Amino acid sequence: MGALLEVRDLKKYFKTNSGLLHAVDGINFSLETGKTLGVVGESGCGKSTLGRTILHLLEPTDGQIFFGGKDISSPGKAETRKLREEMQIIFQDPYSSLDPRKSVSEAIMEPLKIQGSLSKDEMREETRMLMETVGLAARFENTYPHELDGGRRQRIGIARALSLKPKFIVCDEPVSALDVSIQAQVINLMLDLQEKRGIAYMFVTHDLSVVKYISDDIMVMYLGQMVEKAPADELFRDTRHPYTRALLSAIPVPDIHNKTKRILLHGEITSPIDPGPGCRFMARCTHAAGGCHQMQTLEECSPGHFVACCRYKEIEKEDTA
Amino acid sequence: MVTKLKKTRKKSKLKDLWRRLKKNRLAVAGLIVLILLIFIAIAAPLLAPYSYSAQDSKASYSTGTAEHPLGTDKLGRDLMSRLIWGARASLEMGAIAVAIAAAVGITIGAIAGFFGGWTENICMRVLDIYQSIPMLLLCITIAAILGPSLQNAIIALGVCSVPGYARLMRASVLTVREKEYIESARAVNAGNARIILQHIVPNAMAPLIVEITMGVGSMILAGSLLSFVGLGVQPPTPEWGTMIAEGRNVMREHATLALYPGICVMLSVLACNLLGDGLRDALDPRLKN
Amino acid sequence: MNSTSTNLLEIKDLAVEYHTDEAVIYAVNHVDFSINKGETVGLVGETGAGKTSIARSILRILPMPPAKVVSGEIFYNGNDLLKLSEREMRKIRGNKIAMIFQDPMTALNPIETVGFQIAETIQQHNSISHAEAHQRTCEMLEMVGIPGDRFKDFPHQFSGGMKQRVVIAMALACNPALLLADEPTTALDVTIQAQVLEMMQSLKEKVETAFVLITHDLGVVAEFCDKVAVVYAGEIVERGSAEDIFDRANHPYTLGLFASLPKLDATEKRLSPIKGLMPDPTDLPDGCRFCDRCPNAKDECSKSSPKEAEIAPGHTVKCFFSGGN
């Protein structure tokens, strides 16, 4: 059996007044059942758009998406319905992703209601089970989101996503709005669920320590493009792309002795509107040279480790020298 | 069991609103006045000492006698009775006209705001044209075409004030539409109808409720005006606006004839506005807790 | 350790409550806290721990009502700020003590140029000419790494990180003795955060300003602060030098915080979160505020509240089992 999800050359452009905004620009990856792909990047790099495009919450401009071996690039209405039962999303902000006028049980029951294959009693039973699964006490059934804390709200969001028993969930920064101690609880819950149900996650985040912890593979995005992708440990151990290096070095480490030298980025961020063909990181890159004006191709530098930089080998040498 | 739960929940939400509204004394006063007016309108046959058309030929233009505490008009009809009966037509006009306007306006606004694109464009441009005609002129024209009667006045008023509600609803829907929970509903396969009815309209209603409350006041005012120019309620049925119109002719000699219905109009409008103002504060999520 | 005279700011027994219709929220519960000249102190804690309330009460910009300072004294150079008149306070605010907020997007007026906004702050507190104010504004901009000729640009022409620099420049324009920074980098991306932190680091060496950095990010604290105070449920549960906190943390809450962070070099399969939730600030437990979540809570913990105890010079912990009690 092949990959659960495969994305080929996916593109999503938005029309703006000043030109085409290349939010997602030629992304390729594949994901197997029960695995997690971490997607990292800064705000505006297109990581959230990528997740939404795969789920067809946004229509892709170009490219192909295969799910369970089937091409789902342009599904019909019925197919979309079917897909949404197998692919779900958990949103970033537990404050705005829940309808303030729906109680906890109403929110969790909604997907089941829409699906319409269960009787009322069965739905109620299922809702209770889901609440138990995500660790929400039954007494919260009739409370409203604004009465609950962020961690509990995010559990509602997870229960909603789980209700249709999906095989794949896009997690769009699910813990970045939560406090550390709560964040750890939610991450553990998500890992438990993955273990039990074999769900594949695409974990979108800007928090690198979380992503390393939860992911099997990590993909680093910069202005709509993938600049580097590698198994989680390897990405941190053997960082190749200059942007990834800068990104990793910028994480503040809660350790006063281990102060690594930060690579500071200068220069303006290239506009994602009608960008040129060259490397999009060039303007901020300290290693930029002539070859960077050309289109960058993804190169496999070691098994499973891809990097889109024409100078990664030279940079390696420059740094060790 | 579910229905039972729902009931307790609804109650608690209303309770919550009442708790916040209670703090605003003026709004509570407005609410009391409004309830009182509605009660008077309903119980008019019991409260009014005379029939609104009963003429007392001995007491033309009397002022404050024991029989007629607020005096009588030219035909000797008891002013107080006419004011009490008049509350019916005035409130009816206010409430029903607003209901028509709000229902149509909210539908248009919700559709325009939700679908966007050319749907929105057509809706809004039609409203633009609509609004470029002075409202009163339009109102009078419609009422004149339909013929003068209470019913037609209500229709005219309702039709004329659709754009305001539609615009407000559209603006409100535009902000709600961008919320993540709408996307979340779509991700679990909710259809457009469900999204609009279950998620967008309930969440976009708060500013509308305020506008509707205040709208009742301005409709009473506009209704009085229509009656004043003879396009609303027809005599002998009393209505505050008509009464002012009649009293106007003898303003110098018998000021109270125009004054008392004027006070009634003012009081009801003020009550609606105060309540609306209070509701706005009570419904504003930023001031919650 | 320090005599009171060297303290720039000293907070004694500060308690802040928010009174709403339904309940009283105990936001800050008898906090003692001091800052020396030129020091950088990190105030770490989770959402709703009361960090921001502490900072706001220093500047007296708590929203009153519903907020109420129930007890306490805040000495700045020996004067109790809470007793000053509003007029005297205005001379201190922005001039001697400045504050920067989390969201740089809303802290600047979108219809005025950034130069004008900085110059305005300077002129408010110093009687100097336009030209001098302009001169000083350009210096400030240069200091935070923005070319002085961007004086005439409007806020929307700056990126998020640049805006936060402008905000910092504005706060430092009057050479304050104390700068309260409330989550200054939380809204920024990591690479931008790195730039701003780097800049603040170098500012620390250039100016004599003392910093209070309010944050939930222990990583940022590790980078920037000399001293750390850990806030939990309106109390400072542990404080000490950065070394004390990062190497010899003693309070179970501090330890729990560190444990729940995913580590970059970790191999364990699950994180170890602190169980439960922060207590409801309207209904705090009687004893130790942390006892419901504490892995080593004993009976006495739920009965009485532990006193702050010094377990090493400058390192105090509020726990019965800290070794100091």
Q: Which residues are paired to A218 by β-bridges? A: A38, A230
Which chains have 3+ CB pairs within 8 A of A?
Answer: B, C
Q: Which pLDDT value is given to residue C325?
A: 46
Q: Which residues are paired to A172 by β-bridges? A: A204
Q: Which residue from A179, A206, A269 is facing C190, i.e. has the nearest CB? A: A206
Question: In angstroms, rounded to a whole number, what is the distance separating the alpha carbons of residues B184 and A161?
Answer: 9
CB atoms within 10 A of CB A28: 16
Percent of chain B with pLDDT strictly greater than 70: 93
Assigned fold of B80-287: MetI-like fold (1.10.3720)
Domain A5-237 architecture = 3-Layer(aba) Sandwich (3.40)
For the residues C219-229, what does the mean pLDDT come to? Answer: 87
Provide the edge-to-edge strand list for the sheet that holds A200-205: A87-90, A168-172, A200-205, A36-40, A217-222, A225-231, A305-307, A299-302
Q: Which residues contact B1 (CB under 8 A, 6 or more apart)?
A: none
**β-bridge pairing C67-76 and A217-222:** unpaired
Q: Which pLDDT value is given to residue A219?
A: 93
Helix (H, G, I), strand (E, B) or coil at A284: helix
Encode C267-306 in three state secondary structure. Answer: CCCCCCCCCCCCCCCCCCCCCCCCCCCCCCCCHHHHHCCC
Q: Which residues contact B69 (CB under 8 A, 6 or more apart)?
A: B80
Q: Cβ B187–A57 below 8 Å, yes or no?
A: yes
Q: Which pLDDT value is given to residue A260?
A: 67
Q: Which residue from A254, A257, A265 is facing C258, i.e. has the nearest CB? A: A254
Domains of chain A by residue range: 5-237, 242-321
* Distances C283 to A139, A219, C19, C51, C238 between C-alpha atoms, Å: 19, 45, 13, 18, 22
CB atoms within 10 A of CB A107: 26
Is there a contact between C214 and C182 (Cβ–Cβ < 8 Å)?
A: yes
This prediction has a pTM of 0.80
Q: Cβ A249–C195 below 8 Å, yes or no?
A: no
Amino acid at A210: V
| B152-166, B189-203, C57-71: range with lowest mean pLDDT | C57-71
- Of residues B68 and B147, more confidence is placed in B147
Question: In angstroms, rounded to a whole number, what is the distance separating the alpha carbons of residues C80 and C78?
Answer: 7
Question: In angstroms, rounded to a whole number, what is the distance separating the alpha carbons of residues C57 and C55?
Answer: 5
Residue of C nearest to A243 (CA): C191
* Best to test chain A binding among C195, C202, C277 (most A CBs inside 10 Å): C277
Res. B6: pLDDT tops 70: no
Q: What is the DSSP string of C122-135?
A: HHHHS---HHHHHH
Question: In angstroms, rounded to a whole number, what is the distance separating the alpha carbons of residues B217 and B33?
Answer: 12
Residue of C nearest to B289 (CA): C20
Q: Cβ A91–B184 below 8 Å, yes or no?
A: yes
Token couple for A295: 């289109």
Chain centre distance of CA A61 = 19
Q: What is the DSSP string of A188-254?
A: HHHHHHHHHH--EEEEEES-HHHHHHH-SEEEEEETTEEEEEEEHHHHHHS--SHHHHHHHHHSPPS
| pLDDT tens digits, one per residue of B96-129 | 999 999 999 999 999 999 998 899 999 999 999 9
For the residues A100-119, what does the mean pLDDT come to? Answer: 88
Is this complex's ipTM strictly greater than 0.85? no
| pLDDT tens digits, one per residue of A169-202 | 999 888 877 888 788 888 888 899 899 989 999 9
For the residues C57-74, what does the mean pLDDT come to? Answer: 82
For the residues B258-270, what does the mean pLDDT come to? Answer: 88
Res. A1: pLDDT tops 80: no
Domains of chain B by residue range: 80-287
Q: B11 touching C, CB under 8 A?
A: no
Res. A55: pLDDT tops 80: yes
Q: Cβ A89–B186 below 8 Å, yes or no?
A: no
Res. A298: pLDDT tops 50: yes
Question: In angstroms, rounded to a whole number, what is the distance separating the alpha carbons of residues C189 and A42?
Answer: 6
Q: Cβ A114–B190 below 8 Å, yes or no?
A: yes
The Cβ-side half-sphere exposure at B49, using a 13 Å CA radius, reads 13
Residue of C nearest to B20 (CA): C21
Q: Cβ B190–A110 below 8 Å, yes or no?
A: yes
Q: Cβ A96–B194 below 8 Å, yes or no?
A: no
